[in-house]
Structures are given as structure tokens and as C-alpha cells.
Amino acid sequence: MPIVIEKLTYTYQSGSVNAFTALHEIDLTINDGEFVGLIGHTGSGKSTLIQQLNGLMQPTSGIVKVDGYDMSDKKQRAKGRALVGMVFQYPDYQLFDETVYKDISFGPKNMKLDAEEVDRRVREAMRLVGLDFDEFAEKSPFELSGGEKRRTALAGIIAMYPKYLVLDEPMAGLDPAGRRAVLKMIDDFRKQLGCAVVMVSHSMDDIAKTADKVVVLRDGKIYTSGTPEEIFSRADELYEMGLEPPFAARLASELKRRGFVLPDGIYTNAALADALDAYKGGLGNV
């Protein structure tokens, strides 16, 4: 069963003079096991939208249902929320316990799992995020580097086996190797645990590598959605909106403007190199 969002509208400080509608009539379905990339610039409503997915905020009007549980209903919300794991942008705000082990075990313990199962899940989660058990289990979260904190926060969420994993800018502030590692890790445990992933990211290059579906938000509305090919072939349009489409998509579009004949839907450097291969040695087919 999917997450179904129908005509979701959300207004901050509804009814007051400062009322601000952040989401307007959003319709969106997140299917089992799907990888959805959510993009849009600051203020487009991305953060408001993802906080509706686990009931941290409830719709002003419209419906959010997680596997059938209506997130506007208090009792059903608790059941729906248990299916949705959420990792925020600043991992510092998510870590609070004395040791990495205790921090990661907090969620599974709350689920009333027995000690043996909790221990098994903590070890599995640490392995999945690449934190060596002997080295890190007894460390204080505050001794960790930014990348290690983020891995710990992720481990704490995946140890609960969420059916839907929601990530807000999971790679922000990481170095290139860290970005690649976290992205691969997310894709790995999606495959291993079979969960769906909703990832908010400014980096369309990262989204291009993994997403099945890309959703573009603008001014609180869904501007467009589709496969990465469909969305990134509109690179110029996205760029004008203040977003940063994958580099290869932008370059392909610029080259076409300057006289190259290239297929549509190029958004990786490898695909662009393949297309340019026809021009090898200056034998342009113009």
C-alpha cells in the first residue's frame, strides 16, 4: 500500500493576519519501494511537504494517507508514523544519547522489541551505514565528525525498518566521497529492506543517479513530475527557476543551441560523451 496525498493544502498560522499557505492542493502518490527525488528551491514547500508524511504537521485541508492510515486522525497517525522514518538536514539535532549504540537503539527499543532483536538491528544498521561497531558503538555522538553524525542518525532510523524513508538533504555538508558513500548506502538499504525513499536534495546530479521519479515543487504546488529523463530534458526551464539541473543536461542544451544535433533526455556525462562520439575527429554530420 502506498502513501497517497490528495488535494493537500497547508496554511501556517491559519486564520491569523500572518496566514501563509505553503502547500496548495498537492496530489502525489509514493508507491512501495519507489525512489522519489523532491526538488525545488528554498521556500518552495519541500520541508512542509515531507513533514506531512509522518504527521509532524497535519493538512489544513485534503488528505494524507500512509498505507491507508489517515494522518489527520490522532489514533491512525501513530500507526502511520511508525511506517515512516525521517532523517533531517542537521543530524546534530537528532542525536541526544550518551553513546552511538544507545542513540541507534532508542527507536527499536521504543518499538518494544526484545533486547536481542534490538542488538541485532543496531549492529545491522551500523554495518549498513559503514560505522565499525568496535570503533564507534561506545563513542559519544558529540565526538563524531559531521559525516559520522549523519551516518549515526541514519542508522537510528533504519534500525526501525521503516517502510518509507524520508531524507531531507542527506548529503549536505559532506565531501564528494562522503556524498557518493551516503547515496550508495541509501540505495543499498532500499534494496535490502525494500523500503521506499523520498529524498529532498538541491543536487540534481545526485537525484539523477538514483531516483525513479522526480517531483518539482514551486510556490507550494507540484510544478511537474516524471522520470529523470523527462524532467531533466527541460534543463533550461529548471535553470531559469533557480534550480541547478545536472551539468550534462545543461551542457547538452547549450550545445544544441550552438548547432549540435543530440538526442533528448541526456543528463549524465557518460550519455553526453556517447552522443558526442558521432562527432569524433571533427566529422560533424551537420
Partner 1 sequence: MLSVRNVSFSYENGSHALNDVSLEIERGEFVCIIGHNGSGKSTLAKMFNGLLLPTSGSVIVDGMDTADDEKMLDIRRLVGIVFQNPDNQIVTTVVREDVAFGPENLGVPTDEMIVRVDEALAAVGMESYAESAPHMLSGGQKQRIAIAGMLAMEPQVLILDEATAMLDPMGRKDILRIVRDLNKEKGITVVMITQYMEEAVGTDRMIVINDGSIAMDGTPEAIFARGDELRAIGLDVPPAVELRELLKKREIADCGDAMTLEELSSSLCRSLLKN
193 is a site residue for partner 1 (CB under 8 A): no
280 is a site residue for partner 1 (CB under 8 A): yes
Question: Under a CB-based contact definition with an 8 Å cutoff, are residues 152 and 132 in contact?
Answer: no
Single out the residue of 94, 248, 266, 267 in contact with partner 1 (rule: CB under 8 A).
248
Binding residues for partner 1, total number by CB under 8 A? 44
Mark the segment that binds partner 1 (CB under 8 A) among 53-61, 63-71, 78-86, 266-274. Answer: 266-274
27 is a site residue for partner 1 (CB under 8 A): no
Window 168-187: residues binding partner 1 (CB under 8 A): 169, 172-178
41 is a site residue for partner 1 (CB under 8 A): yes
Q: Which residues pair with 196 in a beta bridge?
A: 164
Mark the segment that binds partner 1 (CB under 8 A) among 6-14, 49-57, 185-193, 240-248. Answer: 240-248
Single out the residue of 8, 158, 185, 243 in contact with partner 1 (rule: CB under 8 A).
243
Q: Which is nearer to partner 1, 140 or 192 (CB)?
A: 140
Residues in contact with partner 1 by CB under 8 A are 41-43, 89-90, 143, 145-147, 169, 172-178, 202, 205, 242-244, 246-248, 250-251, 254-255, 258-260, 269-270, 272-273, 276-277, 279-280, 282-284, 286
